[in-house]
Amino acid sequence: MSTLQPDQATALGLAGRGRRGFDPDTIDGTLISDPSVRPPLVLGDRDFHSVTNTICGWIENRTPAWWFPAFMISAGIAGLGTAMILFLIVTGVGVWGLMNPVMWSWDITNFVWWVGIGHAGTLISAILCLLKQKWRTSINRFAEAMTIFAVICAGTFPGIHVGRVWMAWMLFPIPNSNWIWPNFRSPLLWDVFAVGTYFTVSLLFWYMGMIPDLATLRDRALARINVPVRLGPVGLPGMGFLDKITEQIVLPLNRVAAFVYGFLAMGWRFSTRHWNNYEKAYLMLAGISTPLVLSVHSVVSFDFAVSILPGWHTTIFPPYFVAGAIFSGFAMVLTLLIPARELYPGMKDFVTAKTIENMCKIITVTGSMVGFAYMMEFFIAWYGANPFEIQTFVRRAFGPYWWAYWTMITCNVISPQVFWFKWCRTNIPFIFLISILVNIGMWFERYVILTTLSGDFLPSSWAYFSPTYVDIFTFVGSIGIFMTLFLLFCRFLPMLAISEVKNVMPMADPHAYDVGHGGHGHNGHGHNGHNGHGVRNGHAANTGAY
Amino acid sequence: MNRETIDQFGRPAKFEDDGSGIHQMSDRRNVLDQCPSSHKEGKPVATPASARALSAATGKSYWRSLDDLAGTKDFRSFVEREFPAMASELLDGSRRHFLRIMGASLALAGAATVPGCRRPDHKILAYNRQPEDVIPGVPLFYATAMPLPGGSCEGLLAETYEGRPTKLEGNPLHPENRGKSSVRAQAAILDLYDPDRGPAVAEALTGEAGAAVKATPLADAVAQTREAFAQIGAAKGRGLAFLVEKTTSPSRDALRDRVLSAGKWPEARWFAYEAIDNEGELAATRAVLGGPAKALHDFSQARVVVSLGHDFLTCGAGVSDSRGFAAARYRDGDAGHEASGSSMSRLYVFESMLTLTGGQADHRWAVRPSRIAACAMALARAVASKLDAAAARGLTDALGRAAASDGAGVPSADVFNAIADDLLNARGTSLLAAGEHQPAQVHALVAALNAALGNVGRTVRYVPLKGDAGQSSLASIRALKEAIDAGQVSTLVVVGANPVYSAPADLAFAESYAKVPLTVHLGEADETAAASKIHVARTHFLESWGDVETWDGVYSVVQPMIDRLYAGTASDLELLASLAGESDTDPYFIVRNTVRARAGNADFEKLWRRTLHDGMSPAGQPRGPAMAVDFAGVARALAEPLPAAGDGLEILFLASPQVHDGRMANNGWLQELPDAVTKLTWDNAILMNPATAQRLGFSTDRHPVTPQYCHGEMMTLSVGGRSVDAPLWPQPGLADDTVAVHLGYGRRVCGRVARGSGFDFFGVRPGSGQGFASGVTVEAARGKSPYLLATTQDHWTLEGRDILREVDLPRWQKFGDIDYLKAKDLQKDPYDRTRRLNFAGLLGMESHTPANVDMYEATQKNAYALRFTEEDENGNPLRDEKGNIVPIKNVHGKPIQQWGMSIDLTTCTGCGACMVACQAENNVPIVGKKEVAKGREMHWIRVDRYYSTAPTSEAQKDTLGVGDDSAILADADMMVMPVTCVHCENAPCEVVCPVNATVHDEQGNNNMAYNRCIGTRYCSNNCPYKVRRFNFFDYATKQFRGNFAGKDLTEKLPEIARPPSEHFVPPRLRQKKLEVATMQHNPHVTVRSRGVMEKCTYCIQRVNAARVETKLADLNLIPDGFVQTACQQACPTDAIVFGDIYDSWSGNGAGSRVKQKRGDGRSYQLLAYLNTRPRTTHMLRIRNPNPALVDASRRARWDHPLGHGHGGSDHSAPHGSGGHEAKPEGHVMSLPILTPSRGALA
């Protein structure tokens, strides 16, 4: 990407910034300050074919060298986390630092944190879809995958934190010999429904959106089905004879890929009827998901808001939790996206600086909402004149957990405010740093809420919670599980929605003005020349602004 | 005579029918002839020595080969061990071996049954014919008595299931207990099933390297010492010495007299010894009363009580002191005038360490131990100056001849004048008591004052002590030491005592003890046992016959409930009789003979049965004539100089309220019972006032290592050249420059529970200052890291909350009865709605909150007819003709009783008997020190303790408010409050449980369904009272392999490989609990597995049992008082009342006791503003201060009906800063409460 691309030059010209001070690696020309001009969403002088080639190439090419160590480390951490979970189940919940009165701590902190992270994906794919925010197309697959994996991690914690894990099925309203339904008044049961629904819908949404891309991968694998893939030399020192053997071994990888992708593609044939149904289904799922984005974290917040504890029993929790969830979700998307953008060649053409800037803006908005909520908590505590409530908030800020509280404030309230400055929201390493801080801050927000338990009504029961190593490694392990799943996703599934990205390219719109490539001609070329690489047929009427 | 009365545990199941067959079978198994005809005389009939021989004589011959097996030593030992702890023989052997054993058992059974009435009776057999009264699962209660350390006893009832005792309760007939019981009595049942008591286990449980304890069976011990005693007998007892623990057992006294009689061993020496004894009182009574005596207090008649260091609520005689004190503490007025007519005793306490008694005090002064005597003197002078001349003559004379005393470190003269005035107003109904650690002068002065005030014979009774109890322990141990060192002792028999551990440090007794050629020890596997040549393990008092008297002579038989669990153990009677070669060594016959001797001309059998049934002898009479105080003796006692006010630190040695002098150290319930004042478990510490600690340059930070765990900085405490390293624990309420320590911890040779718990301060206790000593230095121990201390309550103050409400008596008398429903201006909430609050309610936060308006009630006004016709599912109307709610009825139309509890904070002393009683009743496990330190203790009922102090400055007020408790120093007041599940009608826990595991029943109980609980713990989070307990690990069913005090048995592993706690070992890798340890469990209460929540159930198993009983008696309802919860039954002060809150038929229409309590103006709901509607209510605490001793601002509040009650620091601060002063009639919410010490809740 060292040379200036023609459309970047155009964008720069539009932005009126000239070539001075231009850093092609960070600012790619999409940051146009003129509101009347829309920057391009895909850079790099790409046609449909190159889009397909780039995105599928990440899967089809040889595994990048960094992937194996990354995967090994992640899988190792995931294994550690799994070992901790097994130890917990075998021995008892007491291996965590929980005690009376702090009966929940890192377990539920982690649960809420992961659920919160899981919010970004659905928000991007559903709400931004309905709002016709086209820049989302380059990140929605990525964010949805993150959502799925985050919810998997989140769902682990309520499952394992119960005292008798082997009886956890009693949470579900299934007919059983006890003849007893679960307690429908309990927010924990609502959690089961809310998180379960959210996971199911998110998974469907993600998978359904992926079907055309899976079909593309299938077709490309079929095309290469007879190309032998050899194991290649092992390269062990002094074991040259092994290389001779392994060079002869032919792996049926293309055949397997064709089968697996073909199975997952569910017979997609790029027919117009398919596309028609797909678009309808996509819109419907977006509609269904939209309320879920709001409901899941509202319900999770009910775990606290429904209780009677000072600091928990507040009506502000549902909106405050949802804002926090989007906040942390976007931060996590950035945390994952920024390295991926560097590591995968060509990805910067799709995930432009403008996209990242947009996300920073959302982080600032939601971060300010969260900060406002913290302020309101204090105000209501004072205004409500309930001494228990006041004491709780004074204790949060100045009590034994002051460090957690001020970490939260620093990371969640202060750090996102830097995005008011353009330099901050266009400087990629800096954004990465802030996204990490926000992730930390949002974890501490949940922790601070749970520290309420350490001192509620009767001072005789007040106590201080400290985590054990099992607490810590279970949490770290959950990050390992998340990263493992994510790396597998990067390696084997299309990280970007090929068909959707093509959809927002200028050539997808036959009536768009020419930015250097013939609109009609190009479109026709894309369609006819290449076995239908996921480009919808004809002049699809959904290209909006262009 | 019914032979079926022997149950399968070999325990006599029914004692009343005949005593003759139910003695210790296993050691009298040569008495095989159980024919009634031969037992009329009560003498054993000579029979063949073993079952094998018996079988050869009378059995069928074809069993002979099996009999051979049955006669082998191995098999016999298996059969004799009726409770093989691990049943290892069965596990070890092959199937064939197992069958052989079974076959042999059959053979023995055959040998037993064939010869008709000749059968051995010590085997496990299923009931062939159901014995009368024994119904599986239905407990039987038998009377027995528990000897107390030093003498006297508690009369108890033992609850037994098919011959297995599970719980002890106070005997309602016994004058000492009256149905109540102490912590110690409640915990005693656990000692019975202590696996470390068995000789087999004791071997493996050596405390420190080289201190092996090997128990010798009694028979072997007798055989091994036969020769030595033969020589002693020849020498008329010369060279023989006995060191016995003090007890008031007439049988043992009789044995002693026989042993020391002219015909036996007249030259033998007999020493009585208690590690913690009342030396001062013994010396004083010798001088003042002419002989050793014990002061018995009748607090129930005392209107003014002055304690000079006497903590009668912790270590008074049994529970009668607590009960008597509570009875006089608060008395309701006549019906309808409860408040205005109420009366209350007044308690002044001078003490050095904050105790339960100090916590109850109306006025308390923290005085150094050496200054208590000066206080006593000042008080005596004040009383003498005010008494009329005739009455004061003796006292004045005695004081005139007293040695001079200075007044340093003593409260001002005004204090003593005020107390003296109070005492004079209550002549004959006042009471003075002196602490057992105080010297003779204080006891003499107290006796003189009691006499001068006319209390002797009314509130104080002096009973002479005879025999062992009157001996000075200190003199005994000194004399014994001298005798040993002089080579006069060749054989020493130690019964019960543990002098190697507890003897005064300067005696170096252990060295002398090792010099004795033959030492025989009976007792626990303790330090003395390890140092003895022969150690015989002692039976528990529920295993062996014995007897005991209370101080005033009420005679009880200690009746066993079960055959001894461990073979070869012996009781003290058995050992003494065996060593002495008595013809009758069976304690059963020894005790019977004692009763026979006491019976005189009465029908002995009748008396015996009566004694066993009632638990005490009807012939029990107060012993001895009344003893009169001789003022000349007082003068003689006072001629000794009073302890001087020394410089530097003083140390006060106290008996541990939990483990006493260490003999209860292996009892897990007691170790885990938090000390009532310090709230420490599993350990003792150097207790010091934070101000003193800071002055000495020590940190009072209780969290120097982590904020989660309390730690004490290690200190080196030195007294007279001896030192011990122990952690420092800052303790409010101690006198300045005073160090207090609890004795009985730091045992070196002990069972696995006690191992590693605490520090041994016997090692620094000098003989010259058994109670307290001066010349103490405390300095930081170099190079020692802070020591983990497990406390159940880290927080000291109430944080300005109205949780524990308190009011002074005059204000209560004036305003307590106001009918607030009629006082219109007082009953409206800020929204002008009617509010129903009583006096206590108006003191709390609920007076600031809007009235709870029942929306159904509001509807009812408009739709009266509709509501009236409403019926429940059984067709019973929900409202009566007037529209009032009627109690719920069951399908039979009978009302369902609604249970509730009331806890009176005025009479609760915080002793903790309720906690242990609950633990015994409800199978509540112990969790060990590390788990307690984490906050995972399992007690279903806890006693919260808060300190408060009068703020002296505005700055201090503020610091108190935010919880900085360094300001709480010597003058701290202590308040205690038992909290257990309050069974909310609007239970927050129930809403949030996702699996319906905690639900309400129709009786209003909040129940736990353990098998439904999956352990989300949400209920506990949402419980505002934090009374739910979670099984983080398998506390109840798996054996704790480690050391409860924090070290684990994996010590051999390197540090890094050790689990952080024994509980971190997965359950499957742990052993199940020993069978013997599970025998204590109440069969009616589920033993909870890990991962489930548990909490107080209102002893629902007792309610259900009572319901069955009432149904059988054809009653509709359980009468009031027929069912008692375990905590209520134990509570010595009757602070806990349980019953039907809708019961209006009991008490001649006044309703059940709990209903009356709930109607009282003192009753309030904890955290009522949350509208949880607790079924357990608390009753506010009333203090009765002397108006002459309180400041004007406190007095001013007595005329103030609605000033706020106790909010931690609000002792003297008027309720000025809220909105109250400005608008006395209104009750607006005060807003400026960001600083909690001001405003509404301050």
* The Cα angle at residue A340 between residues A516 and A493, in degrees rounded to 5: 90
Q: Which residue of B has its CA nearest to A390?
A: B1234
Residue B1082 near residue B924, CB atoms below 8 Å? no
B1240 interaction partners in chain A (CB closer than 8 Å)? 385, 387
Q: What is the pLDDT of residues B320-338, one digit of tens each?
A: 899 999 999 988 887 667 7
B1013 touches chain A (CB under 8 A): yes
CB distance A458–B1025 less than 8 Å?
A: yes
User: Which helix or strand (DSSP H or E) is residue B273 part of?
Assistant: strand B269-273
**How many residue pairs from chains A and B have C-beta atoms closer than 8 A?**
212
Q: Which two tokens stand for residue B813?
A: 């008398």
Exposed e or buried b per residue across B787-804, where buried means at least 16 C-beta atoms within 10 angstroms of its C-beta: bbbbbbbbbbbbbbbbbb
Other CB atoms within a 10 A radius of the CB of residue A178 amount to 12
Band of residue A332 on the pLDDT scale cut at 50, 70, 90: very high
pLDDT at B411: 86
Residue A422 to residue A15: CA distance in whole angstroms: 14
Strand partners, B999: B1007
pLDDT at B962 over 60: no
Q: What is the pLDDT of residues B216-247, one digit of tens each?
A: 888 899 999 888 888 888 888 888 999 999 99
Instruction: Give the contacts of B501 (CB within 8 A, at least 6 positions apart).
Output: B275, B526, B527, B528, B662, B747, B748, B760, B762
B938 touches chain A (CB under 8 A): no
Instruction: Give the contacts of A232 (CB within 8 A, at least 6 positions apart).
Output: A246, A247
Residue B364 near residue B597, CB atoms below 8 Å? no
A303 interaction partners in chain B (CB closer than 8 Å)? 1018
Closest CB to A93: pick one of B937, B1067, B1091: B1091
Q: Which residue has the tokens 């190309």?
A: A227
Residue A209 near residue A144, CB atoms below 8 Å? yes
Single out the residue of B331, B333, B322 nearest to residue B298, CA to CA. B322
Closest CB to A188: pick one of B992, B1167, B1231: B992
pLDDT at B185: 92
DSSP state letter for B27: G
CB distance A93–B708 less than 8 Å?
A: no
Candidates A112, A195, A460, A471, partner chain B, best to mutate (most B CBs within 10 A):
A460
What's the average model confidence in pLDDT over A186-208? 92
pLDDT at B27: 36
A105/chain B closest Cα distance in angstroms: 11
B1234 touches chain A (CB under 8 A): yes
Q: What is the pLDDT of residues B814-869, one digit of tens each?
A: 888 776 555 555 556 666 666 667 888 878 777 777 766 665 555 545 444 444 45
Question: At A352, which amino acid appears?
Answer: T
pLDDT at B2: 39
Question: At A79, which amino acid appears?
Answer: G
pLDDT at A467 over 80: yes
Band of residue B741 on the pLDDT scale cut at 50, 70, 90: very high
CB distance A162–B708 less than 8 Å?
A: no
Residue B51 to residue B30: CA distance in whole angstroms: 9
Please state which of the ranges A186-195, A236-245, A452-461, B152-161 shows the lowest mean pLDDT: A236-245
What's the average model confidence in pLDDT over A182-196? 92
pLDDT at B964: 43
CB distance B1021–A464 less than 8 Å?
A: no
Residue B1187 to residue B1183: CA distance in whole angstroms: 12
B800 touches chain A (CB under 8 A): yes
Please state which of the ranges B336-340, B499-503, B967-971 shows the lowest mean pLDDT: B967-971
Q: What is the pLDDT of residues B1153-1209, one digit of tens each?
A: 998 888 888 899 998 888 888 999 999 999 999 999 888 878 888 887 665 443 333
Residue A313 to residue A317: CA distance in whole angstroms: 8
Please state which of the ranges A199-208, A244-253, A299-308, B159-168 shows the lowest mean pLDDT: A244-253
A449/chain B closest Cα distance in angstroms: 12
What's the average model confidence in pLDDT over B570-596? 89
Could you tell me whether strands B363-366 and B346-351 are parallel, antiparallel, or unpaired per DSSP bridges?
parallel
ipTM value, please give it: 0.87
Q: What is the pLDDT of residues A88-130, one digit of tens each?
A: 998 889 889 899 899 999 999 999 999 999 888 888 888 888 8
Residue B838 to residue B834: CA distance in whole angstroms: 13
Q: Which two tokens stand for residue B466?
A: 């005879």
Please state which of the ranges A60-64, B798-802, B917-921, B1150-1154 shows the lowest mean pLDDT: B798-802
B1057 interaction partners in chain A (CB closer than 8 Å)? none
Closest CB to A464: pick one of B707, B979, B992: B707
pLDDT at B1099 over 70: yes
What's the average model confidence in pLDDT over B744-767? 87
pLDDT at A286 over 80: yes
pLDDT at B1041: 60
Residue B887 near residue B872, CB atoms below 8 Å? no
Q: Which residue of B has its CA nearest to A87?
A: B1066
B1000 interaction partners in chain A (CB closer than 8 Å)? none
Higher pLDDT, B230 or A227: B230
pLDDT at B819: 62
Q: What is the pLDDT of residues B900-957, one digit of tens each?
A: 999 999 999 999 999 999 999 999 999 888 888 888 999 999 999 988 765 444 444 4
Higher pLDDT, B1053 or B789: B789
Exposed e or buried b per residue across B865-878, where buried means at least 16 C-beta atoms within 10 angstroms of its C-beta: eebeeeeeeeebeb
pLDDT at B32: 34
Single out the residue of B788, B615, B692, B711 nearest to residue B170, CA to CA. B615
Other CB atoms within a 10 A radius of the CB of residue A402 amount to 13
Closest CB to B1015: pick one of A164, A308, A458: A164
